[in-house]
A and B are shown apart, each in its own frame.
Chain A
């Protein structure tokens, strides 16, 4: 059973409906555990105090914003390189979800920055590139809306998605390449995390919970898109049936 077995829309729908509730349920439970850890068992930070509680939302949102874009980029390769029929359905569903996570990341980051650095915004490398990511998401959503025909829309957005993918390594490594205001990597590092275990575990559990909920949202959005395409196909077929017969020329005339 390979990925091509999931080229059949009906099959994908059945899988999605079976699997969706599990993602939501497990996600909410995991989140509950993670939030308990974040607010109750985890200590306040030595330097930042209680504002560290924002990290348990801000950081997973950043990770998911990038993961959603990476999935969009993989879907784009699926569309352009392999012509996988479900790839652009996946990509279209991801765009609004990823944009929302990016927005939450930016907003919570700003709310965290004010007490920590005494500024709502600063044009450092990490913040600027995440803002660019958000703008690219919005542009891709606008592209999806602008093109009527689904296959063409899928191809064009796939190209733009891949063009924008260069932003991802810049976001990830910007805090290492340039000494900027945003703090450098403390979890995904070659030498291992530098964050306290008492904070790391709730962070990872929250991230896992948010990720499971994200998958639920992705499946729900994909179901919508599949339904939308099916309806469109039916509407076009119905329109063709209703269309009047082509008028025929009367006998004996030349044209």
Chain B
């Protein structure tokens, strides 16, 4: 690939792709963390979490 005058457009496009993928992956990961925290809280309250634990 040659670096020509359109390099900026190409770079920004692929950056948008990377940011998009990273963004959705991060969002899913953060959701997972929040759910695990909720699970830990429920466990702390003495709720039976064994069925949920077999899911995580």
Which A positions have Cβ atoms within 8 angstroms of B? 9-10, 13, 39-40, 44, 49-51, 53-54, 57-58, 61, 96-97, 100-101, 103-104, 107-108, 111-112, 114-115, 213, 217, 220-221, 223-224, 226-228, 230-231, 234-235, 237-238
Known: A44-B2, A224-B31, A238-B42. A96 touches B24 (CB 8 A): yes
Which B positions have Cβ atoms within 8 angstroms of A? 1-4, 6-7, 9-10, 12-14, 16-17, 20-21, 23-25, 27-29, 31-32, 35-36, 38-39, 42, 45, 47-49, 51-52, 54-56
Chain A residue numbers with a CB within 8 Å of B2 are 44, 50
Is there an interface contact between A220 and B32, defined as CB atoms closer than 8 Å?
yes
Is there an interface contact between B32 and A50, defined as CB atoms closer than 8 Å?
no
Known: A50-B1, A51-B10, A238-B45. A231 touches B27 (CB 8 A): no
Is there an interface contact between A53 and B28, defined as CB atoms closer than 8 Å?
no
Q: How far apart sit A97 and B26, CA to CA, in the bound complex (Å)?
A: 12
Is there an interface contact between A50 and B10, defined as CB atoms closer than 8 Å?
yes
Chain A residue numbers with a CB within 8 Å of B1 are 39-40, 44, 50, 53
Q: How far apart sit A54 and B17, CA to CA, in the bound complex (Å)?
A: 10
Is there an interface contact between A227 and B17, defined as CB atoms closer than 8 Å?
no
Chain A residue numbers with a CB within 8 Å of B55 are 9-10, 13, 223, 226-227, 230
Please give me the residue from chain B that is nearest to A226 by CB atom: B55
Given contacts A13-B54, A97-B24, A230-B55, 20 further A-B contacts (CB under 8 A): A13-B55, A40-B1, A50-B10, A51-B6, A58-B13, A100-B21, A100-B23, A104-B20, A104-B21, A108-B17, A111-B12, A112-B9, A114-B9, A213-B21, A220-B32, A223-B55, A224-B35, A228-B35, A231-B39, A231-B42
